Amino acid sequence: MQDHNYHMSPEQFRAEGKKIIDWIADYYENIEKYPVLSQVNPGEILSSLPKDPPQHGESMEHMMQDIDEKIMPGITHWQSPNFFAYFPSNTSFPSILGDLVSSGLGVQGMIWATSPAATELETRVLDWLADMMGMPEKFKSTSSGGGVIQDTASTSALTAVIAARERATNMESNQTGVRQKLVAYISTQTHSSLEKALKMAGIGKDNLRLVDVDEKFAMRPELLKAHIQKDKASGLQPFFICGALGTTSSNAMDPLRKIGEIAQSENCWFHIDAAMSGTAMLCPEFRHFMHGAELADSYCFNPHKWMFTNFDCDVFWVANRNELINTFSILPEYLKNKATESGAVFDYRDWHVQLGRRFRALKLWFVIRHYGVEGLQFHIRKHVQLSKMFTQWINESDDFELFVEPPLNLVCFCHKNGDDFNLKLMNEVNESGKLFFTHTKLKGQIVLRMSIGQTNTEEAHLEAAWKLISDIAAKL
């Protein structure tokens, strides 16, 4: 066989890598020139791509040309300062660079022995975060619990549900299967990932109770208590409750302390989902929202939403790490090693569903070290202040009204002309390409959502967005 080497050499990588860094920097400098919401039709990108793979290798120049011509038209620009849809999924240059280093090292950090630094940096960074956010001491590695980086809050929810299931059944369901008497409780506003987690864990949708909410869309603890008493009277076993520190639709804050007290009295696992809003806990003035976290068995938030760390990066803290390890640990012969057997190390693959894991802690480390606590607090406070400004404009308007008072950076509002008008207004604005925002439905009504948390959003972007929304509304 003829000796060929198809690999890219370090010299080629150095040259092409510099070009791509320049391309990324150029993208951010010019990002506002793109329509925020992709304007292509379904199948348009697919039809532009060859049906067959190349038989012979192609140049990076050709590939990047296709990025510009074929891929970019199909990109919705989540990093645009004019992106106000769904929730922020923001990144930053330090995070991108940290992720690049992680990709370059190519670590598979499933157990301590496969790269000690990957494990120990993660432990340290998540202890840093616990201190930075005023988390209860029990969530630190120096206490009974600790933190682990998951991909998303959905995976954290599944991890919590499975660990709760095992605690409720004394590990029996890991041995003999799921008991069908277990019941879980969430509010009507809780993220759909909790329902999915309960289905995947074998609990089932029929054993999920949706607790109604108050006028601010927060769970009503007295109704939670009533659901639990009714289920117990029917011979069922309550085992899991999720409280939200910021719901998806309206950023509602559940009364965590009251929910936690009920969970404790009923011996239920108490999980707190703080996916986006958890980042605000970096600022002491917002920590009243997390009162009750000291009663939680687990707590998660996403730095990849509002902490300038690119997707995917979810922090999952647990009060008793042994409950995770006992639930998820399997030790085949090929993973046995002295460090694990000594009990002196964490093997994070025992803390969640997946075995393999990337070196995600690097990008988080880069972000915290670049910004410092002060820098992160500055930008979170700025986004909250911008949200207050947008709220004021709505309150001063004759045509629009605020739907619910925003606790942080999500503003829910609507035009007074009704549902059809609001949907038409939103679609017209989004089709302009100048900004992108979305809607939800609350109390059966269409509500417009402005999620203000993109890394580079400034007051001028928000002023332009409000002017465009107002102008298009006046013309409809």
| In the chain, where the domains are located | 107-358
* pLDDT > 90? residue 344: no
Instruction: Please compute the mean of the pLDDT values over residues 309-331 and round it to a whole number.
Output: 89
Model pLDDT for residues 17-68, shown as the tens digit of each residue: 999 999 999 999 999 999 999 999 999 999 999 999 999 999 999 999 999 9
Instruction: Please compute the mean of the pLDDT values over residues 414-433 and round it to a whole number.
Output: 95
Alpha helices in 298-444 (DSSP H): 303-306, 321-328, 338-342, 361-396, 419-431
- The lowest-confidence range among 232-236, 336-340, 355-359, 401-405 is 336-340
Instruction: Please compute the mean of the pLDDT values over residues 108-137 and round it to a whole number.
Output: 92
The token duo for 134 is: 């005023």
Q: Are strands 298-301 and 269-273 parallel, antiparallel or unpaired?
A: parallel
Instruction: Please compute the mean of the pLDDT values over residues 231-242 and round it to a whole number.
Output: 94
Mean pLDDT of the chain: 91
Look at the alpha carbons of 423, 424, 430, 431 in this order and tell me if their dihedral is positive or negative. positive
Higher pLDDT, 430 or 357: 430
**DSSP string for 173-211:** HHHH---TTEEEEEETTS-HHHHHHHHHTT--GGGEEEE
Q: What does DSSP assign to residue 350?
A: G
Residue 345: per-residue pLDDT: 78
Instruction: Please compute the mean of the pLDDT values over residues 347-369 and round it to a whole number.
Output: 90
Other C-beta atoms lying within 10 Å of the C-beta of residue 53: 5
Distance separating alpha carbons of residues 243 and 255, to the nearest angstrom: 8
Residue 100: per-residue pLDDT: 95
Residue 190: per-residue pLDDT: 84
Instruction: Please compute the mean of the pLDDT values over residues 383-410 and round it to a whole number.
Output: 96
- The lowest-confidence range among 344-348, 388-392, 407-411, 456-460 is 344-348
pTM > 0.75:
yes
Model pLDDT for residues 57-82, shown as the tens digit of each residue: 999 999 999 999 999 999 999 999 99
Residue type at 325? I
- The lowest-confidence range among 107-116, 174-183, 220-229, 273-282 is 174-183
Region of 418 please: left (phi>0), alpha (psi -120 to 50) or beta: left
Helix 459-475 and helix 419-431, axial crossing angle in degrees, nearest 10 = 120
Task: Give the fold, CATH level 3, of 107-358.
Answer: Aspartate Aminotransferase; domain 2 (3.40.640)
Residue 195: per-residue pLDDT: 84
Model pLDDT for residues 174-221, shown as the tens digit of each residue: 776 666 799 999 999 887 888 888 888 888 888 899 999 999 999 999
Q: What spatial distance separates the first Cα and last Cα of the chain, rounded to whole Å? A: 70
